[in-house]
Structure 1
């Protein structure tokens, strides 16, 4: 902050390092996402929204990294968690919110099928984030990554395994297109 930078986002922040930073700075730390920021989140948000959707509860950490990053950059974010293909009816209950988003981030492990399902439902960009969680032959997220890369739904773009920050930053850029600055 001494260099005039009062709005700082820190990702992949371990709890012990966050504690050290908090000794000298006003850091807000969200342990569930391993993310912290100095300064306030913007009070003015975009009119258009980013929807952050997860397959399961184990995708929460990556999803929160994504959602908080998007909010840090002034975006309106709709969180829709635990709506994977194993219980597709849960996803369909949120269709109005999903369809109103300008860009969607889908975060899923296992076979990563949720990105294709969402991509087939919407006419906006979908950013897919494979996660390293899951069981069976998930191979640390490689199974979901390959599935998402091979999505037959048009408009699905994939970031690397567990890259909630990268997905949020890209969604932020898309969401701000046409916004008054």
Structure 2
């Protein structure tokens, strides 16, 4: 048993014996424990601190490293891994056949228990079909974190009538993730039409002057629509996390109103 296990056991014993209040124990547990695999230190209590469990970022890791991390985390909870190349996914699935790979999103998931959904519903909007891989990453992340998500794709400003055709549905979502490459104009247009929180995701989709997403990023950052929040290029995962946190606040606000 390592030191973190000993400390955890001591905290639990103190709670049992009445030597420490449960709220104080919860504060102590926020920084415990992590599991040292040598190449990786798995943060098993991250959800206590920020509301989300640790997610495996696959880029730059070997298939063996991802598989070992994935296997250890699956013994405790549902697991999400992002940016997983196909060859890594194949290797992991040979060791854990229940793992599920989404090649478009490049996500690998393991569900050891039921995902409980909150009342919020995230709308994920893409300007073009070429942005779908980012949307899929966002959708998988939302689902794994207990938020329903619906993708509406290919309604960019080049054919703006397509957007107006879906505007009533778009206004029905609690939070919007708006994904666009090229010049990134879609988030500004939607920002002028809806009263929902908007998280804009620039993508690396576009011709040379798009500068691998920089033009879309700058366009979204300088949006004339107020209240548009922007994440990094191709960061569907980060946008989904922000949307889930907004939904959680909306849920808490609704619960407080009900109790009042």
Instruction: Report the TM-score, using the length of structure 1 for normalisation.
Output: 0.94
Q: For 2:178 and 2:85, locate their aligned partners in 1 and report how far apart those are by CA, in whole Å.
A: 25
Q: Provide the residue aligned with 1:69 in structure 2.
A: 141
Larger radius of gyration: 2
How far the C-alpha of 1:6 sits from its partner, in A, is 2.8
3-state SS of paired residue (1:147): helix
Verify: 1:18 aligned to 2:89, yes or no.
yes
Q: Provide the residue aligned with 1:7 in structure 2.
A: 78
2:181 to 109, 124, 134: 109
Compared with structure 1, are the counterparts of its residues 88 and 163 closer, same or farther at alpha carbon in structure 2 (3 Å cutoff)?
A: same
Q: Provide the residue aligned with 1:149 in structure 2.
A: 221
Q: Provide the residue aligned with 1:138 in structure 2.
A: 210
How far the C-alpha of 1:56 sits from its partner, in A, is 0.3
User: Given that residues 115 and 145 in structure 2 are in contact (C-alpha distance below 8 angstroms), is that contact kept between their aligned partners in structure 1?
Assistant: no
Q: For 1:141 and 1:178, locate their aligned partners in 2 and report how far apart those are by CA, in whole Å.
A: 31
Quick one: higher RCO (CA 8 Å, sep 6+), 1 or 2?
A: 1
Counting matched residue pairs gives 181
Q: For 1:96 and 1:115, locate their aligned partners in 2 and report how far apart those are by CA, in whole Å.
A: 16
User: Given that residues 42 and 71 in structure 1 are in contact (C-alpha distance below 8 angstroms), is that contact kept between their aligned partners in structure 2?
Assistant: no
User: Given that residues 104 and 171 in structure 1 are in contact (C-alpha distance below 8 angstroms), is that contact kept between their aligned partners in structure 2?
Assistant: yes
Instruction: Report the TM-score, using the length of structure 2 for normalisation.
Output: 0.66
Show the 5 A alignment for 1:17-96: 17-25=88-96, 26-39=98-111, 42-96=114-168
Q: Structure 2 unaligned segments of length 5 or more: list them.
A: 1-70, 256-260
RMSD, aligned CA: 1.7
Deviations 1:122-163 (A, max 9, x none): 112100000001124111000000000000111100000000
Q: Structure 1 unaligned segments of length 5 or more: list them.
A: none
